[in-house]
Copies of this chain bind each other. A is one copy, B any other.
């Protein structure tokens, strides 16, 4: 349920001593409800109606705050701007190289890769990141004909 996630997110903020402003509330809500993976600008534009005076800097600042608190993950792909993903359970992303669509893909964490990496390089591993690239069914069918 989306509003449970929102409530939990707000509690996380409270616990961390981050003030809950209407802008933060709205950005979080948008991130949770959005099934896509919006850019900072997407969010800015989406909330323009509700907050005509909101600054882009506010969006960026708060996305950074949310990231630092662990509520949000920043995705940097090849394209120009970062995308932001509300953190729920562990999952990977499958990305269409034609249209840019991003689909969630659940898969058990690759623990063994981290272990081997730690062993080989001597690093203290904290996490990994993986994305899978290809062509989505829509784009594939367009191509086909």
Q: Interface of A with B (CB < 8 Å)?
A: 74, 76-78, 92, 94, 96-97, 103, 105, 107, 110, 113-114, 116-118, 120-137, 140
Contacts and interface: CB of A to CB of B under 8 A. Distances in A.
B131 A129 contact: yes
B126 A97 contact: yes
A107 B129 CA distance: 15
Contacts of A117: 92, 94, 105, 107, 132, 134
Contacts of A121: 94, 103, 105, 136
27 contacts: A94-B125, A97-B126, A107-B113, A107-B116, A107-B117, A110-B110, A110-B113, A110-B130, A117-B132, A121-B136, A122-B136, A122-B137, A123-B132, A123-B137, A124-B134, A124-B140, A125-B132, A125-B133, A126-B133, A126-B135, A127-B132, A127-B133, A128-B131, A128-B133, A129-B132, A129-B133, A130-B130
Q: How many copies does the complex hold?
A: 2
Contacts of A114: 132
Nearest to A127: B133
A56 B140 CA distance: 37
A124 B76 CA distance: 22
Nearest to A112: B107
Contacts of A125: 94, 132-134
B130 A126 contact: no
A137 B118 CA distance: 10
